[in-house]
Structure 1
Amino acid sequence: MKNIKYVMIVISLFIACSQQYAQTSIEWKSYKTSGRISNSLALQGDLLWVATDAGLVKIDINTGESTTYNKTNSKLPSDIIQCVMVDPNFNLWIGTDVCLVKYSNDIWTVFDASNSPLPYQRVIDLVTDYDGVIWIATLGDGLYSYNGTNFTSYTTNNSDIPSDMIRSIAIDINGNKWIGTIGNGLLKFDGKEWKVFNSKNSGIGDDRITSVYIDPSGIIWAGTFKAGVVKYDGRSWEAFNNQNSQLPDNKIWFIKPDSDGNMWIGTDRGGLVKFDTPDMVIYNQENSNIPSNSITSFLVDESGNKWISSFKGVAKMDEKKWETFNSENTGISSSNILSLSVGLQNKLYIASDDNGLIVFANNTWQIFNTQNSKIPSNYVRCFANEKNGDVWIGTDKGLVKYNEFSWTIFDKTNSSLPADYVTALAVDANGNKWIGTYDGGIAKYDGAEWTIFNPENSTFPSIGVSSIAIDEGGNVWVGTLDGGVAKYDNSQWTVFNTSNSDLSHNKIFDIKISPIGEKYIGTFGGGLNVFDDENWKVYNSQNSKLPDDYITAIAIDDDNIKYIGTNGGMAKINKDKWTIFKRAESGLPSDRILSITIDEKGNKWIGTAKRGLAVFKDGGILLGN
């Protein structure tokens, strides 16, 4: 095998972007993860366009300079880009998760339900035929064509197309469209009639077709979701899978050609395959420095360089030299922001699910993970801050005490910690640390002695703890994974659950205490509960403007304004006024909120699932310590 090298392009694992909602101040800024590249690359001269889950990235292949376009700095209606294509007139066409976009001469043209027959639907693939007509695959509303003036739709409601779940399109030399569907096999459309090839009437082993390619001799190649690759010469079928060939994985993302007549196959977990029938050469993380074994797209530039996109970035394969390109990079590389906390000097502590502890201070990012520090795991779940600057960190492999000079690890082997998976933390006025665990109950640690509470030795209602809050009277309020809420008054536990109170659900996500002493309790499907020590009030999606009943995060500022994170966006509650923030209408990178905290300057920091971090402040965000 030749010594082939890859040039990694780090596409800003968190891409910083701003959105201006007032005339003089920026109220939103987001740091979005784009570690996963979507399923498409396109070349426009010396410009490489990359479809990502956090916007459209433009890379100058000569200089390595990159620019990211998203809905905050362009007319793109969404940051989730599914596919890109350059037409014969050099226009760029962009498929998003909500519509189709054309970009030409710095002008953005959006085609959606307001100005075209296209529905609010994912545009998953684009191709141009020999007449310059654009063919548009949607994942849920069929096939469309656009001739520059008019759209034509082909759906199960108005044609004989057997499926509206279209995944891929290829066009043969006779103008026939070969269409891969999710669930109905491979289709051939000659402009009038539809022909179906599926697992019942052909050699296709899986009716979920992920990719279609037609080679120069007219042979049809199709990639499938679980049955590898099939070849059709118009008469017979031949299958290539991990049972009868060197193909390393049966889940295929693409089949593409190079300039030498080889085919390249991207797999889900088996790496990249060079296929020169019948030989296969495999490039994976075990035998090369390819960035990922999940390869999602491929193209060859005019110099013969091969470009791939993957779940962990873009790489350029060059047999002669190494060259590294970097786009704007905050240094953060995590998809899920599980917890947020503000410490001394307004430092922001960020819990990631894959890259350890992240600290943001003075507009500088620091990462502490298992490779560069003594933190025992890259999965960080929670924080608690002490007045002296010590930060307590909960991981799935123990408890960590951290300051700028040392790391101290507590686990079951060297302490009385009841379980290594630490899920919640709080520090009371006396400096006691309260440590909630996933399956060991809750512990109190005063710096020397440990006290454990669980259902076997006390009236504590659960072994699983999700959240801890401490009120001004020193009472400890604990949210559990299945036993409701427990209150500890330094002598006994009082339990509130669906059987003995008006609590709406026994699975608790978060608890926060307001400046006037009310307990705000987020539940797993039961909405938001408010308890004033006597009465309960429940807010849900039926009786309020709450966007979702799964309450994942709560933050309350000094003015008693509540910020409620849900699986469907964020709610701001100011007395009786509700304001709802959704990804489509705000700077939120995702509607799935995982964490919220408020810093010393009143900025609200919002962690999301798979879309990174955002900061928001009415009147304008204030960054810097």
Structure 2
Amino acid sequence: MRLTLLLLIWSLFASAQQTFTVFDRNNSPLPDNQCRYIAIDSLNRKWFCTEFGLAIYDDNTWTVYQTTNSGLTDNSVKHVAFDAAGRAWISTQNGGVCVFDGTNWTSYTTANSPIAADYIRSVTIDRFGSAWICTIAGLSRFDGANWTTWNIGNSNIPVDHISRCVIENDTLRWLGTVNGGFSQMIRDTGFTTWDYLHQNFPDNSMNDLVLGPLNHLWMTCPAGALVNFYNGGWFTYNTLSSGIPTNSLNSLQFDSLTNIWLGTYDRGIVKKEGPVYYSWYTANSDMPDDNVFYTCIEGNGIVWAGTEQSGVVRFDESLWLGPKPVAEPSRLTLFPNPAHDFVNLRFDHARPDLVQLYNMQGQLIRSMHNLSAPVQRLDLTGLSRGCYLVRIAEGTRIERKTLIIE
């Protein structure tokens, strides 16, 4: 009887303390299973940016904001940032920026303000309280009264599509772009850009940009992997130069021990611990999705991951039993990447049944079947510039890579 009771207690404890806890539409109020971004506020509440609204979770209670019950102007939420007053600056795909103070909502769109576009990628707040708003049509700054926009028509900014802005000090900013390289902005007029064509920079697009220890800039790229940039030089952590399992990265976060946590396109959650990489994904763990858009680290070390199709995952590494899974190298290499008229696909230890090329809207563009040779050429003639997704399937195993066409 005592043994049975102990086993029951242990069973209840184990079920409550899971390495991976999934929150999705089936088991929680999360409004959509695609979660693009996660932020944690000063009250330790988690803000989940989904494709069908904004969800806030305080570890007990959920609050969901959508266009039908709040001042949110668009349900496709891409990013959230907090200012010194605790107000949330919420980036949307078609509704500009929404500012929420916990009670009141204010929106800035092209219909009511000089903001550059209604599609907002992210917002950064500087120490003066100005909002630096990254849009698909330029970089806008709003100081509470005045608007300023930098675009290719009025400045030397490399492209209009800006993904991230990092403020290093009052006069120095760093910009990540989509298809325009990586740019340094000095004061309000000076731009210096590093790109693939002119400096052989690893990628022309940056999904995430973080100012790390010793003022080194770290960036994740859709095809150029993890880049550490400092004082005009850089080192790329890719599948050739390191043990990183994939070159297709979405996001990065530093934990309290300066380990780097990566959200990847095809290897789930990756942890860089010094020179060693660990990967938790569908093939080696209970991680439900290989495509992780964003990872966010709590003060207690808990990792929160927003996924493409499986909602939000709470990952407690301390409960992982056995050796941590050292990352396995990717089985697919794309070269050249960026590409023009064609791309070569090299399969390492794999003979896929199917190769598919998708655009970023999820439309199937090309497909190849029953591949036997270790290297295949995929024709790209006639395709527009931009980001594409290469998907290979071998039995039940799926792998994805990002392809840039220039």
Q: TM-score by structure 1 length?
A: 0.46
1:167 equivalent among 163, 180, 184? 163
User: Which position in structure 2 is the counterpart of 1:81?
Assistant: 77
Residues 78-157 of structure 1 mapped to structure 2, 5 A cutoff: 78-98=74-94, 99-139=96-136, 141-157=137-153
Q: Distance in 2 between matches of 1:42 and 1:85?
A: 9
Residues 238-249 of structure 1 mapped to structure 2, 5 A cutoff: 238-249=235-246
CA RMSD, Structure 1 to Structure 2 (Å): 2.3
Q: Distance in 2 between matches of 1:204 and 1:150?
A: 35
**What amino acid is the match of 1:5?**
T
Structure 2 unmatched ranges of 5 or more: 1-16, 321-406
Instruction: List per-residue Cα deviations over 1:181-227 (Å, max 9, x = no partner).
Output: 11110011022300101113435222122111121211111211212
Q: Distance in 1 between matches of 2:204 and 2:164?
A: 13
Larger radius of gyration: 1
Residues 494-573 of structure 1 mapped to structure 2, 5 A cutoff: none
Q: Note if contact 1:258-1:299 (Cα within 8 Å) is conserved in structure 2.
A: no
Q: Note if contact 2:296-2:305 (Cα within 8 Å) is conserved in structure 1.
A: yes
Q: Note if contact 2:88-2:100 (Cα within 8 Å) is conserved in structure 1.
A: yes
Q: Note if contact 1:156-1:164 (Cα within 8 Å) is conserved in structure 2.
A: yes
Instruction: List per-residue Cα deviations over 1:394-439 (Å, max 9, x = no partner).
Output: xxxxxxxxxxxxxxxxxxxxxxxxxxxxxxxxxxxxxxxxxxxxxx
Q: Distance in 1 between matches of 2:158 and 2:232?
A: 23
Given the alignment of the two structures, is residue 185 of structure 1 paired with residue 199 of structure 2, yes or no? no
Q: Note if contact 2:176-2:183 (Cα within 8 Å) is conserved in structure 1.
A: yes
User: Which position in structure 1 is the counterpart of 2:20?
Assistant: 6
Task: Indicate how the Cα distance of structure 1 residues 262 and 58 shifts in structure 2: closer, same or farther if over 3 A, else same.
Answer: same
Q: CA deviation at 1:321?
A: 6.1
Q: Note if contact 2:38-2:304 (Cα within 8 Å) is conserved in structure 1.
A: no
Secondary structure at the aligned position of 2:57 is classed as strand
**What amino acid is the match of 1:82?**
K
Secondary structure at the aligned position of 2:183 is classed as strand
Secondary structure at the aligned position of 1:200 is classed as helix
Q: CA deviation at 1:168?
A: 1.6
Q: Note if contact 2:142-2:148 (Cα within 8 Å) is conserved in structure 1.
A: yes
Given the alignment of the two structures, is residue 202 of structure 1 paired with residue 199 of structure 2, yes or no? yes
Q: CA deviation at 1:114?
A: 2.7
Q: Distance in 2 between matches of 1:237 and 1:283?
A: 27
Q: CA deviation at 1:295?
A: 1.0
Task: Indicate how the Cα distance of structure 1 residues 155 and 104 shifts in structure 2: closer, same or farther if over 3 A, else same.
Answer: same
User: Which position in structure 1 is the counterpart of 2:269?
Assistant: 272
Q: Distance in 1 between matches of 2:105 and 2:219?
A: 33
Q: CA deviation at 1:305?
A: 2.1
2:53 equivalent among 41, 52, 55? 55
User: Which position in structure 1 is the counterpart of 2:34?
Assistant: 36
Q: CA deviation at 1:100?
A: 0.4
Q: Note if contact 2:38-2:296 (Cα within 8 Å) is conserved in structure 1.
A: no
Q: Distance in 2 between matches of 1:93 and 1:11?
A: 25
Q: Distance in 1 between matches of 2:241 and 2:319?
A: 36
1:301 equivalent among 292, 298, 302? 298
Q: Note if contact 1:42-1:85 (Cα within 8 Å) is conserved in structure 2.
A: no
Q: Distance in 2 between matches of 1:216 and 1:132?
A: 24
Structure 1 unmatched ranges of 5 or more: 17-32, 323-625
User: Which position in structure 2 is the counterpart of 1:45?
Assistant: 43
Q: CA deviation at 1:157?
A: 1.8
Instruction: List per-residue Cα deviations over 1:326-378 (Å, max 9, x = no partner).
Output: xxxxxxxxxxxxxxxxxxxxxxxxxxxxxxxxxxxxxxxxxxxxxxxxxxxxx
Q: Distance in 2 between matches of 1:49 and 1:177?
A: 26
Q: Distance in 2 between matches of 1:175 and 1:276?
A: 33
User: Which position in structure 2 is the counterpart of 1:71?
Assistant: 67
User: Which position in structure 2 is the counterpart of 1:176?
Assistant: 172
User: Which position in structure 2 is the counterpart of 1:535?
Assistant: none
Q: Note if contact 1:15-1:54 (Cα within 8 Å) is conserved in structure 2.
A: no
Task: Indicate how the Cα distance of structure 1 residues 12 and 109 shifts in structure 2: closer, same or farther if over 3 A, else same.
Answer: farther
User: Which position in structure 2 is the counterpart of 1:229?
Assistant: 226
1:215 equivalent among 180, 204, 212? 212
Secondary structure at the aligned position of 2:196 is classed as coil
Q: CA deviation at 1:95?
A: 0.4
Residues 391-410 of structure 1 mapped to structure 2, 5 A cutoff: none
Task: Indicate how the Cα distance of structure 1 residues 39 and 204 shifts in structure 2: closer, same or farther if over 3 A, else same.
Answer: farther
Q: CA deviation at 1:46?
A: 2.9
**What amino acid is the match of 2:103?**
D
Task: Indicate how the Cα distance of structure 1 residues 276 and 122 shifts in structure 2: closer, same or farther if over 3 A, else same.
Answer: same
Secondary structure at the aligned position of 1:217 is classed as helix
Secondary structure at the aligned position of 1:309 is classed as strand
Residues 365-404 of structure 1 mapped to structure 2, 5 A cutoff: none
